[in-house]
Structures are given as structure tokens and as C-alpha cells.
Amino acid sequence: MEAEPGVVVTGVSGRMGRMLVQEIAASDRLRLAGALERPGHDWIGQDLGLMLGGTENGVIVGSDLGAALEGAAAVVDFTAPAATIAFARAAGAAGAVHVIGTTGFSDAELDELGSAGTGSVQIRAGNMSLGVNLLVQITRQVAAALGPDWDVEVVEAHHGRKVDAPSGTALMLGEAAAEGHGVRLSDVAERGRDGITGARKPGAIGFSAIRGGDIVGEHDVLFAGPGERVVLRHMATDRGIFARGALRAVLWGIGKAPGRYDMTDVLGL
Ligand SMILES: NC(=O)C1=CN([C@@H]2O[C@H](COP(=O)(O)OP(=O)(O)OC[C@H]3O[C@@H](n4cnc5c(N)ncnc54)[C@H](OP(=O)(O)O)[C@@H]3O)[C@@H](O)[C@H]2O)C=CC1
Ligand SMILES: O=C(O)C1=N[C@H](C(=O)O)C[C@H](O)C1
């Protein structure tokens, strides 16, 4: 009988890294084939099971993705933009599936990420949950139906350790609203308002970010029209939704032609 496809998890000591290890352990379709941390990290060379506070599991934490992919079909990567670009090169060289949850890329970094990953099946989304990816489709439809006379504001809330704003999800929702309006988000986005901002520009798509405590991730898309408002909302209460979405992407990606994909492809939305 053939073994289940192997998956390497990057940033394994992080919030999502730990969650991915749990979800892979619970899966009967995938196995953990490697665990990575940044060079110099305390966990390098140690048994992952012990580092996570449990018993030995025989997976030794490393920092070399190329080596780890010799025994794996896929890498799931929730780290930071510079690290993800470096991992994309290794995934491309190995022809592996690279599932990317990392957010906070600049436009230039996104271009670099795409070319670095040539040869891999690169699946990237600022949010891997079914609910958010469905909300993206609904947001596009509602924006198109209401038109730009209804002001669009995306409001997001996350835990205090999050380092990027607006969140990747907020940007996905903003892009969807812009598509519904038939405009480019970069032409209409209003971010980081402070001081005497002047009146809201017609057709603008605004972003606000709340940071605090242990909020997993909450997103509202507010459509404010004359005399009424429509609010679309997603609330994440468990990071497992992101990890399970990422593993679904791994299973979908195995055997696909190299190229760039997102969760719309994976979920068939
Ligand atoms: N798409 C989605 O569905 C979701 C996306 N995210 C995104 O995933 C990313 C990670 O989130 P989260 O787990 O909460 O963050 P954490 O800070 O908890 O974890 C990030 C991990 O990546 C590691 N890391 C950073 N740089 C490198 C590197 N160069 N090489 C190897 N490892 C590295 C960090 O190590 P160190 O501590 O040493 O820096 C840490 O272990 C963020 O961009 C977040 O927005 C999060 C949830 C869902
Ligand atoms: O950093 C997080 O935690 C999250 N990041 C993603 C984002 O930037 O949207 C997804 C989720 O909201 C949690």
C-alpha cells in the first residue's frame, strides 16, 4: 500500500505552524514529512514532538526546505513574505505543491513570489477558510448590484501579535468589491485615515484595522447607502479552519500542472 503524501510545515513553532501539525496528525490522507524553522532557532535539530510539549514523533526540526522536500510532495507555509519567497524557490526547484497562507506582501514581493515559484503548484490565499472564500464571491456580487454610490468599508479585527494591516482577508474582500465596481482597488483604496482627511472620495473602498487580545480574525464588509446599510460578516473562532483549508489545498494540488492557483480553484467557487 502506498504511504500518504508527505507534507512539510514551515514556521512550525508559530500559531499556524502548530495548528497545521495538529490537523495533519488528525488526517488519514496526509503525513507530516518535515518541520522547519528559521536558521538559528532553538528548535533546530530537536524532535518536534518534544518541542511541542508531547512525546517524540521522530520529526527533527530543520531549516532546509530543499532537503525536506526530498521526502515530501508539498510544503505548507504560513510565515513571513521574505521567507515565503525563499521557500517558493525551493518548491519550484523540487516541483512541489506550495500552499501559501502568508500575508503582508508588497506588490513587488508578489511579483517576485510568482516568478520564484516557477515549476511548483503554487496555491496562495490571504484566507484559507471556506466561509471567507464564499464571502469574497458574495461581496463581488453585492458590490456589483449596489454600485459605487453605496460606500464600501472593510473593517477587520485581529489579535495583538499580527504584524500586517490591512489583513490579507481584508484585501481579498476589498479586491472583490473593486471588481464588482469594475475598478482597480489600487485606484480607490483609502487606508490609514488620520487627521484632517477631507471628505470621503466617491467610489472609495476604505479599510480599518482593530488589533487586540486573542481575536482570531473578524471581517465586516459594510455597504452604506442613503438611508440603509448592508453588512456582510465573517467571524473566525478557531485557527483550525485555516489549517484544514490549507490541507485541502495540498490534496487538490497534488498532480496538478505547475502554475499559480488560489482557494477559488481549490473550492471550485
Ligand atoms: N491565509 C490564511 O488563512 C492565514 C494566514 N495567516 C498568516 O500566516 C502568517 C503567520 O501567522 P502566525 O502563524 O499567526 O504567525 P507566527 O508569528 O505565530 O508564526 C510565524 C512563524 O514563521 C516563522 N518564520 C518567520 N520568518 C521565517 C523564516 N525566514 N524562516 C523560517 N521560519 C520563519 C516564525 O519564526 P520566528 O518566531 O522565529 O520569527 C514563526 O515560527 C501571517 O502572515 C498571517 O497573516 C494566518 C492565519 C490564517
Ligand atoms: O494573522 C492572522 O492571524 C490571520 N491572518 C490572515 C489575514 O491576514 O487575513 C487570515 C486570518 O484573518 C488570520
Confidence grade of residue 69 (pLDDT, cut at 50, 70, 90): very high
Is pLDDT of 156 > 90?
Answer: yes
C-beta of 169 in contact with ligand 2 (< 6 A): yes
**Rounded mean pLDDT, 77-96:** 98
Ligand nearest to the CA of 123: 1
Are 253 and 123 in contact, with CB atoms under 8 Å apart? Answer: yes
pTM of the model: 0.98
Q: Is the CB of 124 under 6 A from ligand 2?
A: no
Q: What is the mean pLDDT of residues 258-268?
A: 97
122 closest CA partner among 147, 87, 153 = 87
Q: Look at phi and psi of residue 127 and say left if phi exceeds 0, alpha if psi is from -120 to 50, else beta.
A: beta
Q: Where are the domains of the chain?
A: 6-124+239-267, 130-236
The CATH number of the structural domain formed by 130-236 is 3.30.360.10
Residue of 72, 75, 95 lying closest to 83 (CA atoms): 75
> 258 Cβ partners below 8 Å, 6+ apart?
95, 118, 119, 120, 121
Nearest CA to ligand 2 atom 11: 217
Identify the pLDDT of residue 58.
Answer: 95
Q: Candidates 3.30.70.141, 3.10.620.30, 3.90.1150.10, 3.40.50.720; correct CATH number of 6-124+239-267?
A: 3.40.50.720
> Each residue of 165-189: pLDDT tens digit?
999 999 999 999 999 999 999 999 9
Instruction: Tell the residue nearest (CA) to atom 23 of ligand 1.
Output: 11
**pLDDT average, residue stretch 58-64:** 97
Q: Do domains 6-124+239-267 and 130-236 have the same CATH topology?
A: no
Site residues for ligand 1, CB cut-off 6 Å? 10-11, 13-17, 36-38, 41, 78-80, 83, 101-104, 125-128, 168, 242
What was the pLDDT predicted at 258? 98
pLDDT at 41: 97
**What is the interface pTM, i.e. ipTM, of the complex?**
0.98
- The whole-number pLDDT of residue 2 equals 73
Q: Which amino acid is at 178?
A: A
pLDDT tens column, 138-155: 999 999 999 999 999 999
The three state secondary structure string of 53-65 is CCCCCCCECECCH
Q: Are the C-beta atoms of residues 103 and 78 closer than 8 Å to each other?
A: no
Q: In this model, does residue 1 exceed pLDDT 80? A: no
- pLDDT tens for 3-29 read 899 999 999 999 999 999 999 999 999
CA of 239 to the centre of ligand 2 (A): 9
Taking the CA of residue 219 as reference, the ligand 2 atom at the shortest distance is 12
Assign 192 a pLDDT band (cuts: 50, 70, 90): confident
